[in-house]
């Protein structure tokens, strides 16, 4: 994922480094998303320091213009011709699930079917808080571990998202069609927030991982003994895109089907997500990264707990997908 769709306005350039590669995103004359390497081939100026008009990007240094395919259209100077074939590398992009998705690999292997199926992503205008973004100083795999580990909530987020009563429960991990799912059922526990805050309840907290780095949490609480109805709970969306080896773009949001008197919950949950990540998750992930000091996760021989099953399965799945991609390229 490169950005939220709403972040890409017409006649506006968005600079972003993805997988160590600087790109510039914009919309073409028809409003379709486009992406180019963020460097003019003339004097290597960032194209993002120029401007875009009607889908044509103009370099801010000498005015060379490029269309969405990366082809150079020259500039307005009568005395500045340019070599045939002058161009900028373009990248396939797709707008889907309220986001802009980019492929930075071999153009011939770009496949929109690989975009995560985020069927729970709500339409605009409903009970949702979509479009949040944070730039974080942590490796994307550490960020993914954090979301796939449902049990850290009861310790790191004690008093905000979790509490001591939630440390008992039943966890299952499964995989179907490449999607890894962890389910945590916590009966007879105290609800930490929401309409049942402070009351005894039965709670669930589940997470699905969609390759390579999109996760959907569904969560909720009912009075003891009542049926847990998934669609009456809430959803949280977490998508991580590596900027560099040590920094990550974090896209997140929430939605739910709530009673009219609880219509403010999505905004409240969104604000809670933002605060908790900045004050609780991110400082811990940054500290872990500092202690690892660039060493490989597996080479450090981590002590694996049974509750790590989902996160470890995801790490191994990602490693397998990377090997398959390298082998296919060879």
Q: Specify the fold of 3-114.
A: Rieske Iron-sulfur Protein (2.102.10)
Q: What top-level class would CATH report for the domain 128-326?
A: alpha beta
* Average pLDDT estimate for 231-249: 90
Whether 200 has a pLDDT exceeding 60, the answer reads: yes
Top pLDDT among 14 and 131 is at: 14
Interval 196-224 mean pLDDT: 95
Q: Where are the domains of the chain?
A: 3-114, 128-326
**R_g of the chain computed on alpha carbons:** 22
Contact assessment for residue 54 and residue 65, using Cβ atoms and an 8 Å cutoff? no
**Which range is least confidently modeled, 121-130, 187-196, 198-207?**
121-130
Residue 195 has pLDDT above 90, yes or no: no
The whole-chain average pLDDT of the chain stands at: 92
pLDDT value at position 78?
59
Pair of tokens at residue 92: 């396939």
Instruction: Give the C-alpha separation, 258 to 131, whole Å.
Output: 20
Section 41-68 average pLDDT: 96
According to the model, what pLDDT value does residue 234 have?
82
CA 27 to CA 14: how far, in whole Å? 10
Q: What's the pLDDT at 64?
A: 95
Q: Which region among 85-89, 253-257, 307-311 has the lowest average model confidence (pLDDT)?
A: 253-257
Q: For 144-169, how does the pLDDT look when each residue is reduced to its tens digit (9 = 90+)? A: 999 999 999 999 999 989 999 999 88
pTM for this predicted structure:
0.92
The mean pLDDT of 284-291, rounded to a whole number, is 96
pLDDT score recorded for residue 102? 98
Residue 230: predicted pLDDT: 56
pLDDT in tens, 108-141: 999 999 999 887 887 776 677 889 999 999 999 9
**DSSP strand pairing (248-256 vs 51-53):** unpaired
More confident residue, 34 or 85: 34
CA distance 20 to 241: 11
Q: What local confidence, expressed as pLDDT, does residue 180 receive?
A: 98
Quick check: 259 pLDDT over 70?
Answer: no
| Predicted pLDDT at 329 | 73
Q: DSSP H helical segments within the chain, as ranges?
A: 140-148, 153-156, 265-276, 282-292, 309-329
**Residue 187 confidence (pLDDT):** 95
* pLDDT tens, residue by residue, 292-330: 999 999 999 999 999 999 999 999 999 999 998 888 777
């Amino acid at each position: 994922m490169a950005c939220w769709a709403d972040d890409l306005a017409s006649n506006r350039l968005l600079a972003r480094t993805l997988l160590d590669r600087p790109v510039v995103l914009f919309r073409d004359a028809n409003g379709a998303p486009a992406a180019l390497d963020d460097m003019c081939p003339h004097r290597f100026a960032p194209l993002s320091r120029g401007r875009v008009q009607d889908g044509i990007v103009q370099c801010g240094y000498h005015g060379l213009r490029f269309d969405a395919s990366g082809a150079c259209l020259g500039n307005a100077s009568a005395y500045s011709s340019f070599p045939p074939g002058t161009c900028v590398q373009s990248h396939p992009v797709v707008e889907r699930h309220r986001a802009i998705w980019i492929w930075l690999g071999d153009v011939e292997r770009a496949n929109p079917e690989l975009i995560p199926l985020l069927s729970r992503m709500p339409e605009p205008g409903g009970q949702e808080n979509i479009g949040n973004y944070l730039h974080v100083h942590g490796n994307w795999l550490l960020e993914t571990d954090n979301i796939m580990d449902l049990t850290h909530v009861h310790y790191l987020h004690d008093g905000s998202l979790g509490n001591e009563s939630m440390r008992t429960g039943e966890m299952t991990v499964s995989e179907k069609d490449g999607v890894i799912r962890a389910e945590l059922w916590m009966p007879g526990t105290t609800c930490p927030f929401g309409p049942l805050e402070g009351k005894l309840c039965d709670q669930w907290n589940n997470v699905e991982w969609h390759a390579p780095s999109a996760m959907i949490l569904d969560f909720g609480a009912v009075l003891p003994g009542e049926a847990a109805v998934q669609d009456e709970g809430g959803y949280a969306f977490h998508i991580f895109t590596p900027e560099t080896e040590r920094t990550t773009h974090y896209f997140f949001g929430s939605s739910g089907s709530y009673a009219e008197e609880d219509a403010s919950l999505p905004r409240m949950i969104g604000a809670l997500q933002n605060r908790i990540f900045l004050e609780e998750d991110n400082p811990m992930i940054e500290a872990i990264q500092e202690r690892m000091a660039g060493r490989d996760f597996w080479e450090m021989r981590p002590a694996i707990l049974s509750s790590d099953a989902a996160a470890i399965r995801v790490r191994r799945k990602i490693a397998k997908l990377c090997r398959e991609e390298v082998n296919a390229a060879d």
